[in-house]
Structure 1
Amino acid sequence: MKQKVITVLLAMVMLLAIPTGLSAAKAESQSVFVNGKKIAYAQAPISENGTTLVSAKETIEALGLAFSWDKGNKRIIASSGEMTISIILNEPVATVNGISIFLGTPAVERNGRTMVPLRLLTDGLGASMETKGNQISIKTVDPSKSKYYTGLPLQITNSAVKNLGTEKIVVNYVEYYYAGGAVQAYDFTASLNARGKAAFNNATVKPGENFDSNGTNYTFFGRTVYSIVVGEEETVSKSYKLAKQLYGNGGTIEKQMRALYKQKEEDYKKKLKEELKKNNNVPFKVVDSSITYDSLGYPEANIELWNLTAKTIVSFELSFSTYDAYGDPVKGGYPYTNRFYGKGANVKVLSGYSHIFTWDLYSYSDTTKLKNIQIDRVAYSDGSVWKRK
């Protein structure tokens, strides 16, 4: 039996996709005013988990920003000169001028409209907001008053930076990762021609996502621009000091990330219990199976198994039926039947993890299909054993 470990933890992939089960309530009588002018909404504001969500396009434009919808990434970009807010649908983290901002409630779609947290927009822009009864009044200020204002001729989204100026520049930026029990900062640069644009390092990685590099597991926290260099003159971002505090060890973002993971872990544990029940309380769920061939042309059975329990699985037995391309049983082994019995010994499958296991089918050389895959017995690290009844 060979074992192949899937590098992306199935648990984490599903964890980030699990809805939090927030309740939504319409607030149709609620009105939003910007500088005394009422916003006309096609979709009324709603409240989810105590957060007011408003239709993105109308609100963003009322606040004086340009609205852009990136369909491929399900992303909203709100921008006006040197202020840019990036919001991805159903993601718990947005960015303001590239700095990660945790959302109490993510952006959602309701009745064909993308609804975003109103507080994110006002706080990001440095605007003031007052609520009296069902009326919300917002007063905007000059963008330079925002604590996220960089003072640099840049448009900064969650994945790229654009030079708004007419001179060639070098952008110095910092990315923050959590690894080895501490926040680590890494410096990068990007050279941009006039009006030029460049993707950040690890541009597709979202805050909170994990990845492996050279055997080390990293959790991405986010990034910030440190400075730009024009010729020999360097100008430091006005918001860099704030970003450094937010991202640093024991800072706000680390605390929020821990809280987010704690909540998601609890949600995922509930999800595992539901999946285990659907799987008739069988510890392993068969996720996928396939036939490949070794260097000699003999078939191999590859079966992906997902541990649905809260325990670590250290050994297991399973069985499956082998068939050829015509659908006829392929007999082999002892006893001479088309039922193959396999084992996985000295393994370590943590709760919520998925692994691919491979068995050689030398005695079943005509096999092209597997059917009726069944988990027969499982041993856990605590010494307990599950047996099929």
Structure 2
Amino acid sequence: MIARLLLALLLFAAPPAAPAQTLSGDAEARWVPFTLTAANHLRFAMTIDGVSAQALLDTGLNYSAVSRAFARRAKLTIDPDGAASGVALGGAIRVDWAATKSIAFGALSRSGGRVAVIELPRLLASASGDAEVLVGTDLIGAHALDIDFANRRFRLLPSGRMPFAGTKVPMTLQNGSGLYLTEAMLGKHRVRPLLVDTGDGGSLSIARSQWRAAGIKGARVTSTIAFGAGGVVDAGLTVTDRVTLGGQPTGPIELRIEGDGGFTRQVRVAGRVGTGLLLRYRVLLDPVAGQMVVAPNPQAPPPPLKSTSGLLLGYDRARLRVLHVMAGGPAAKAGWKANELICTVDGQPVALTAEGTIDVRWGTDAPGRVVRLTLCDGAERSLTLANFY
């Protein structure tokens, strides 16, 4: 299994209110095609000051941001007196500000205003196709966002439009930040407020206190990590079918259980709904109208694959690096450690697939299978796969 990239970020000391964004009169026809990356991020094309860029749609970000490399390429001028701080998953980060002349994608255009300038996570480029821009709620929050996952496209519409029928779920904008908030049920426990975060590739993350309050019996929980803009995030992990959204069951989903402090406390939320859950639907996010609307996606993904190896892996120059050893799994019981390097799997050298991704399907294969792994120092190990959460 591959560790998730989580881009939720709240920027402090924000610049003055940005100029109003405008939608063209033919907004309904202005679909924006996107690619769903390996990290479950929505990557699309846009322009800033006439310079083309690859962007990610990130509703967990309250001010749109560009990488420092893009700021240089687009010749944006950074305000020398405008440095601020941002709260991100994993820790705090430095934020600068740069003025822009124009921003455009789909039906939206903006003249003037500013963007944040930050260091994007190092793993982001390889996982999300060299994206350089994160589009946050400052650009899209005044409009209805219609995401058609089945056809890999989205569009911005005037708030209040209902382009399709579906289940309505309460949604609001958080005072002071403009982040999207909703709620869900875990068993008989209402979890709220939940940040709706398309920058989070997971399904549902909740604070540990919410998990305890839900009192789900018989659940087996392991450990996992993800990479936030501010560093590594540790969490518990389970798979559950006890979540409902708008009164409708979501089906089995991965549930991350995070600490009560850090990002969750500073942003004042009980957890996050990520793209891994949203892509089960066609989704309308319209906080100005007070609602999220979801309709089943006919091409929704199958139930989540569980790791049977207990290894979270990353690609590192024709090697697999062990990023985390999951608690209670076969790898933990066999004594595996983080940062060990794997060079061959069942005698085959580690390599990227033709699509540029990592094939680690063996790590979710049938329990009982024995996988032969050769470390890059020449040591050979056998790992017997098993169910453990």
Question: Under a length normalisation based on structure 1, what TM-score does the superposition of the two structures give?
Answer: 0.28
With the length of structure 2 as denominator, give the TM-score of the two structures. 0.28
Q: Which structure has the higher relative contact order (CA within 8 Å, separation 6+)?
A: 2
